[in-house]
A and B are shown apart, each in its own frame.
Chain A
Amino acid sequence: MLTINKLHKSYPIGDSSLHVLKGIDLSVKEGEMVAIMGSSGSGKSTLLNIIGMLDEADEGEYILDGVPIKNLTEKKAAIYRNKFLGFIFQSFNLINYKNALENVALPLYYQGMKRKERQEKAMFHLGKVGLKDWAHHLPNELSGGQKQRVAIARALAANPKLLLADEPTGALDTKTSYEIMEFIQQLNDEGKTILMVTHEEDIANMCKRIVRLRDGVIMEDTFVEQVRAGEYV
């Protein structure tokens, strides 16, 4: 699904530069559910952003679904993002003046899908996350868990190959977190490849594989026995 070889990334800070990623090698197969863990500053978010083509690596190789991702123009990157990737953010990042349905339909709009088809598909995905009745509500009328579910529906709408989640439960309480994780596990059961950044052990244990980062290198990469979130809900 994706292969990363000797990936380096540094950020300029004033005159010096901060070396965030110091040669990452990672390979993820289709259908995997990977948690990337690490303390803050370990480079986990940076890695996710590079995988999500939101950021660019300085050095190294990144191949996504057989396509080498290198020196992309913004236009190409946008098209790949739209085609391959779905994003879930910690702060949901819904567009606050669009209702749930419109938010979910947005990636489809950028795919150039017809309006009616778009609405139907968005409604289908909203139904999947159990928010059909909330389709015409604005984000500020929804609870945190509902917002994240709308965001998940939006990430799924374009039918991406890879779902990237940056601390998807970071802004939610434990109960809601487990509900969200249950959704994500269901998606994985249906065959979606999922990559998630988290610093919570219990959330990480709900994935099938944990990659631990420290100071820009991979310390540990283990497959774990998945804890089903449904047991807690």
Chain B
Amino acid sequence: MFKFLTDRDTWQEVFDSLSKNKLRSILTMVGVWWGILLLIGLLGSARGLENAFNRLFGDFATNSVFIWGQSTSKPFKGFQEGKQVQLTLTDAKKVEENIEGIEFVVPRNQSQATVVRNFLSGTFGINGDYPLLDKVQKKKLIHGRFINQNDIDDNKKVAVISENVYKQLFEKDEQAIGELIQINGMNFQVIGIFEDGNINMGPSSDMHIPFTTFQQIYNRGDRIGWMMITGKPDYDIKQIEEDAKLLLKNLNRIHPKDNRAFGSFNLGNEFAKMTGFLTGMQFLTWFVGIATLIAGVFAIGNILLITVKERTKEIGVRRALGATPFEIKRQILVEAVFITLLAGFMGIISGGWILILLDWAFGQGEDAAIVNASVSIAVVFIALIILVVLGTLIGLIPAFKATSIKPIEALREE
């Protein structure tokens, strides 16, 4: 049955018919090639953008909100407006205990300090943190470890520094773990180095020291800079934000309708906007991609239909010479599958080049617009199969037409 596929004559016929009708072959191939190329280009760039967004948010727990104190805008219970609002550890604890759906509350402190090591120095943002921070804002450690409970309990003078700080304070390839650096004249031991984040959400985080150590050296007592609140997965972070703020207003004697007393940044909200945008973009890509494929199929069909007349006559001659209708349909089928497959593979290859080009142009560096633009090979092959099947079916129309009428009518077509 499939012996003809390994027969040299079959391929000779296919090759002759395709190469001697160059315009027809090339136009058909362009239709398929363009369809596949566009599909790959579109899907690949969409994936790349999506990857870029995911990388941007990748380090953060996305259902989080940051809250910090500002100054009041309404007088309340004897306090005039303009009162400075200071959040405390107690506030953080109360929020954690009383608000429904909270996963963690991470109180944080921040300050600027000059850091010196031997003859090198720099001014960096110093954060006082709990180990829990790692859950909200994942630190990618290159060496060493993050702050642990022991460091907190013993007020240890240890520091986790960013790669950037390491580059400024240490020689290239120098061992940093265990070395001492001076923060505000006090010696701290470096216990870890982390990779710089892609974006800075909130104040710069160059260096982390234990929360309790920070309290001690800056004499902070109970006061905290801000708190990061992370909600449980199935709770609405927007609601948590409102509840937490209301509770905090209550605790700090602030007018319940005072909207300026607390500043906040709702990561969940921002993320939802992005996700919505991405979903829309994905829909658009698929829509355009499928429309392109259909356009490709029509292009093939068009070209093949235009050549019906020419074909019909040729088929008439072949039948007069003793070709059976089956042989003729088989011949045209092999031709159509061969040409669409060939063009499809060319489309896949050049689509790949486009993605490489995109990656080269926009995908380099940390703030790349497109990250790892790629298409799943399954999607590509499904698209190719659809194109081949539909293209072939359309290609068979003239063959069926020419073999269903009497050979004499096919011959008479002028």
User: Which of A's residues lie within 8 Å of B, judged by CB?
Assistant: 49, 52, 54-56, 74-75, 78-79, 81-83, 87, 89, 93-95, 97-98, 102, 106-107, 109-111, 115, 154, 158
User: Nearest Cβ in chain B — how far from A60, in angstroms?
Assistant: 17
| Chain B residues in 8 Å Cβ range of A106 | 318, 321
| Chain A residues in 8 Å Cβ range of B200 | none
Nearest-CB residue, chain A, relative to B13: A109
Q: Are A82 and B8 in contact (CB under 8 A)?
A: no
User: Nearest Cβ in chain B — how far from A109, in angstroms?
Assistant: 6
Nearest-CB residue, chain A, relative to B326: A75
| Contact with B322, one of A56, A79, A115 (Cβ below 8 angstroms) | A79
Q: Are B8 and A115 in contact (CB under 8 A)?
A: yes
User: Nearest Cβ in chain B — how far from A10, in angstroms?
Assistant: 14
Nearest-CB residue, chain B, relative to A81: B322
Given contacts A81-B319, A81-B321, A87-B320, 18 further A-B contacts (CB under 8 A): A49-B408, A54-B320, A54-B406, A54-B411, A55-B408, A56-B406, A79-B324, A81-B322, A93-B320, A95-B317, A97-B16, A97-B17, A98-B16, A102-B16, A109-B9, A110-B318, A110-B323, A110-B324
User: Nearest Cβ in chain B — how far from A167, in angstroms?
Assistant: 13
| Chain A residues in 8 Å Cβ range of B16 | 97-98, 102
Q: Are A110 and B320 in contact (CB under 8 A)?
A: no
How many of B's residues come within 8 Å of A, CB to CB?
26
- Give the distance in Å from the alpha carbon of A115 to the alpha carbon of B11 in the complex: 12
Q: Are B411 and A111 in contact (CB under 8 A)?
A: no
| Chain A residues in 8 Å Cβ range of B21 | 97
Q: Are A82 and B321 in contact (CB under 8 A)?
A: yes
| Chain B residues in 8 Å Cβ range of A55 | 406, 408
| Chain A residues in 8 Å Cβ range of B408 | 49, 54-55
A54-B406, A74-B403 known; A110+B321 contact, CB < 8 A: yes
Chain B interface main SS type: helix
Q: Are B320 and A52 in contact (CB under 8 A)?
A: yes
Q: Are A81 and B20 in contact (CB under 8 A)?
A: no
User: Nearest Cβ in chain B — how far from A155, in angstroms?
Assistant: 9
User: Nearest Cβ in chain B — how far from A113, in angstroms?
Assistant: 10
Q: Are A78 and B317 in contact (CB under 8 A)?
A: no
**Interface status of B314 (Cβ within 8 A of chain A):** yes
User: Which 9 interchain pairs have the tightest Cβ spacing?
Assistant: A82-B322, A97-B20, A54-B408, A78-B324, A110-B322, A107-B321, A75-B324, A54-B407, A93-B317
| Chain B residues in 8 Å Cβ range of A111 | 322
User: Nearest Cβ in chain B — how far from A97, in angstroms?
Assistant: 3
A55-B406, A97-B17, A98-B16 known; A75+B320 contact, CB < 8 A: no
Q: Are B17 and A81 in contact (CB under 8 A)?
A: no
**Interface status of B236 (Cβ within 8 A of chain A):** no
User: Which of B's residues lie within 8 Å of A, judged by CB?
Assistant: 8-9, 13, 16-17, 20-21, 313-314, 316-327, 403, 406-408, 411
Q: Are B325 and A81 in contact (CB under 8 A)?
A: no
Nearest-CB residue, chain B, relative to A155: B321
Nearest-CB residue, chain B, relative to A138: B20
Nearest-CB residue, chain A, relative to B410: A54
User: Nearest Cβ in chain A — how far from B122, in angstroms?
Assistant: 77
User: Nearest Cβ in chain B — how far from A22, in angstroms?
Assistant: 20
| Chain B residues in 8 Å Cβ range of A95 | 314, 317-318
A and B contact pairs by CB, cutoff 8 A, 13 listed:
A74-B325, A75-B325, A78-B319, A81-B319, A82-B321, A89-B411, A93-B411, A95-B318, A110-B318, A110-B321, A111-B322, A154-B321, A158-B322
User: Nearest Cβ in chain B — how far from A56, in angstroms?
Assistant: 7
- Give the distance in Å from the alpha carbon of A143 to the alpha carbon of B99 in the complex: 97
User: Nearest Cβ in chain A — how far from B401, in angstroms?
Assistant: 14
Interface centre among A52, A54, A94 (most CB of B within 10 A): A54
| Chain B residues in 8 Å Cβ range of A107 | 321-322
- Give the distance in Å from the alpha carbon of A30 to the alpha carbon of B360 in the complex: 78
| Chain B residues in 8 Å Cβ range of A115 | 8-9
- Give the distance in Å from the alpha carbon of A81 to the alpha carbon of B20 in the complex: 27
- Give the distance in Å from the alpha carbon of A159 to the alpha carbon of B17 in the complex: 26
User: Nearest Cβ in chain A — how far from B323, in angstroms?
Assistant: 5
- Give the distance in Å from the alpha carbon of A78 to the alpha carbon of B316 in the complex: 11
User: Nearest Cβ in chain B — how far from A96, in angstroms?
Assistant: 8
User: Nearest Cβ in chain A — how far from B320, in angstroms?
Assistant: 5
Q: Are A110 and B20 in contact (CB under 8 A)?
A: no
- Give the distance in Å from the alpha carbon of A89 to the alpha carbon of B20 in the complex: 23
- Give the distance in Å from the alpha carbon of A49 to the alpha carbon of B17 in the complex: 28
| Chain B residues in 8 Å Cβ range of A154 | 321
Nearest-CB residue, chain A, relative to B403: A74
Nearest-CB residue, chain B, relative to A54: B408
- Give the distance in Å from the alpha carbon of A98 to the alpha carbon of B313 in the complex: 14
- Give the distance in Å from the alpha carbon of A83 to the alpha carbon of B324 in the complex: 13
Nearest-CB residue, chain B, relative to A111: B322
- Give the distance in Å from the alpha carbon of A52 to the alpha carbon of B13 in the complex: 26
- Give the distance in Å from the alpha carbon of A102 to the alpha carbon of B13 in the complex: 10
| Chain B residues in 8 Å Cβ range of A52 | 320
| Chain B residues in 8 Å Cβ range of A81 | 319-322
- Give the distance in Å from the alpha carbon of A110 to the alpha carbon of B13 in the complex: 12
- Give the distance in Å from the alpha carbon of A94 to the alpha carbon of B316 in the complex: 11
- Give the distance in Å from the alpha carbon of A148 to the alpha carbon of B279 in the complex: 67
| Chain B residues in 8 Å Cβ range of A93 | 313, 316-317, 320, 411
User: Nearest Cβ in chain A — how far from B325, in angstroms?
Assistant: 5
